[in-house]
Chain A
Amino acid sequence: MTPMRPFLLCAAASALQLGIPALQNAERVRAPIMGAEDVLLERFGLPAEAPLIKRRQAMHIGLLAAAPLLSAIEPALAEDPMFTLPPLPYAYDALEPHIDAATMKFHHDFHHQAYINNLNKAMAGKAAASLDSLMPGAKAAKLNNAGGGHYNHCMFWTIMGPGAGGAPGGVLADKIKDAYGSFDDFKTAFATAAAGVFGSGWAWLAVKEDGSVTIVTTPNQDNPLMEGATEAGLIPIMGIDVWEHAYYLKYQNRRPEYITAFWNVINWSKVGEYYSAYASKGQPVPF
């Protein structure tokens, strides 16, 4: 079935610029990320005039309408937040054409920021704690939504990268072969698991206590570190977000296509690093 391409409007190519004046008017104190698009562009070394995305992948009308909505529905930030939004290690359009810039922008600036805000609200007045230390007791403390969301997305941004993909190397490759026979079989198993998550959730490559790897899925924003989420003793080193907001703009309901595209953006050297530096020693990846 031929995928339907969006009807291109030349005006939409400059949607980002049209959106910028509206966002600049937002209070900077309340939304340093959302309101300061020009600052972000500067930081990533992108000129403000040129469109972030090519005309061919121009945004839909919905984004034009939604740009003022971003500032209207932004959640309130705490005074001295315990957790802050880490910047993306690459530009919003760095993962094109596999994951589109609009999705990355919304996913990072809106969703991840919302999880952080909710987590800060939940942790207000409590002693400062590192994010990975909050994970085991997250379900009991009702932090699995906001806290899990923050941890999961911190890992998600780091395990992806531009010009990545390929296959894992070193010890991790051996462990994958031991568990699944070959890298292709692993990819099939992972894709089946990720496509099989009903509703919102994540699919993970996790490391067991004996150093072998396994694939698990968790609902909503749970992750294998949380007690009660999956079998005990698992440490996640790679995950794919299969909440619909992660792929709906480009892939609509075609989740298997998104998973296929995901293979092109996985930074296996980073995942291998997580394996050797943390998971093989029984420690969760710290964020």
Chain B
Amino acid sequence: QASSRRRHLLSTAMRPAGYMSMLRAVSFSSSSRQRRRLAHSVAPLPFEADSLQRLVSARSFRRQRAYQAKLVDKLNLILHDSEFQHRPLDEVVTSTASDPQLAECFNHASEIWNLELYWSRLTPGGIAPPSELLRWIERDFESYDRLVEQITAHARGIWGSGWTWLILDRRSLRLRVCNTFAGASSHPLALGLKPLLALDMWEHAYWYRYRGDREAYVRAYLDLVNWQAVSSELIATANKVDEHAKLKYVIRIAMDDMQSLQMSTVQHGTVDLNELPSLARLQLMDERRDDLSSTLVGAIREVSSELEALPSVRKTSTAALHSIAQELRGVKSR
């Protein structure tokens, strides 16, 4: 008996940890053949089970993917003969988020959606953030390290089971970090936000390798993230927002740039501090364009109120915005 057990142990230990064995782990249940016909399935990942050693061992990776497959089976069971049977997964998540009756459906759908995002953002060795993404990060978090700090702080603050997110707020085109909690039926998709990164803060994600050290787990995950993919998602989403939001964004960036330009030129002693910047003087706007000016006034008012709400903004930025709004109102009335 003992020898056969030892033989079995040896064979399981020596099994090659490759792509095929990962697929085998995913399709272990008897309903695997049925799964292909059903709405939802676990997509295979383009890397091997053992390539993310710092984050999770090959065995843990296979187990977690098997757990995801179980969730998929359960979701297919729940959705069978229901109104959501043939809807895509994100639609299921957003539709069931608000309804307490559909909590079970939402729980499973959101867990599957989140786990797909979680795994699909990883790549062996990680890919550093490109310069475009770094500019976005610097605008909203001052630096990449501050972003990591924010994410870690949010992750530490999760009590129970939950997820930490890096999201893009489409209305203001700002990057933000937020938490959602299991059992709270809330999801960034349901709130109209665009999730860029999802960090699994359920204990199963870090317990094996990191025990209570959530910070090390978060850093390990972020080091393995394919930031190039995050960047392309971000840019694609930003390009699809409506004109008003884009205009606000351009104004906000322009104000920041003007502020820093003002600061740097003042340091060189070439600009009078009393002279506030003007869009017309900077030739960013034609004085005769009335139709543009009303949209611009509205957008500027919104941006200035947003900026005023932030504690760290400098008063000269809002003063500059007010002066531009004044100027535009003057242009419109003419």
- Across the two chains, which residue of chain B brings its CB closest to A199? B182
Tell me the bound Cα distance from A171 to B207 in angstroms.
41
A252 CB-CB contact with B under 8 Å: yes
- The B-contacting residues of A in range 50-80, CB under 8 angstroms, are 60, 62, 65-66, 69-70, 72-73
- The B-contacting residues of A in range 169-203, CB under 8 angstroms, are 198-201
B202 CB-CB contact with A under 8 Å: yes
Which bracket fits the contact residues of A? Answer: 20 to 34
B67 CB-CB contact with A under 8 Å: yes
A166 to chain B, nearest CB (A): 28
* A73 surroundings in chain B (CB, below 8 A): 212-213
Cβ 8 A contact of B208, one of A62, A199, A221: A62
Contact A110 B212 (CB under 8 A): yes
Contact A248 B211 (CB under 8 A): no
B68 to chain A, nearest CB (A): 9
A226 to chain B, nearest CB (A): 15
Contact A245 B67 (CB under 8 A): no
Tell me the bound Cα distance from A56 to B41 in angstroms.
37
* A221 surroundings in chain B (CB, below 8 A): 160
* B159 surroundings in chain A (CB, below 8 A): 145, 220
B12 CB-CB contact with A under 8 Å: yes
Contact B160 A199 (CB under 8 A): yes
Secondary structure at chain B's binding surface: helix, strand, loop or mixed? helix
* A66 surroundings in chain B (CB, below 8 A): 210-211, 213
* A198 surroundings in chain B (CB, below 8 A): 103-104, 107, 182-183
Contact B208 A60 (CB under 8 A): yes
B82 to chain A, nearest CB (A): 19
Assess A106 versus B203: contact at CB under 8 Å? Given A5-B12, A198-B183, A199-B182.
no
A17 to chain B, nearest CB (A): 19
* B28 surroundings in chain A (CB, below 8 A): 1
* B59 surroundings in chain A (CB, below 8 A): 4
Cβ 8 A contact of A199, one of B9, B67, B183: B183
Assess A62 versus B209: contact at CB under 8 Å? Given A5-B12, A200-B182, A252-B63.
yes
Tell me the bound Cα distance from A253 to B162 in angstroms.
16
B80 CB-CB contact with A under 8 Å: no
- The B-contacting residues of A in range 249-287, CB under 8 angstroms, are 249, 252-253
B61 to chain A, nearest CB (A): 12
B161 CB-CB contact with A under 8 Å: yes
Tell me the bound Cα distance from A106 to B208 in angstroms.
12
Mark B65-108 against chain A: 1 for CB-CB distance below 8 A, else 0.
Answer: 01100100000000000000000000000000000000110010
A201 to chain B, nearest CB (A): 8
- The A-contacting residues of B in range 1-48, CB under 8 angstroms, are 8-9, 12-13, 28
- The B-contacting residues of A in range 233-247, CB under 8 angstroms, are 243-245
Q: List 29 A-B contacts (CB under 8 A).
A: A4-B12, A4-B63, A5-B9, A7-B9, A8-B9, A60-B208, A62-B208, A62-B211, A66-B213, A69-B210, A69-B212, A70-B211, A70-B212, A106-B211, A110-B212, A198-B103, A198-B183, A200-B160, A200-B161, A201-B160, A220-B160, A243-B160, A245-B203, A248-B207, A249-B208, A252-B63, A252-B67, A253-B63, A253-B66
List the 7 closest pairs (A to B, CB-CB), nearest first: A199-B182, A199-B161, A244-B203, A253-B67, A200-B160, A220-B160, A66-B211
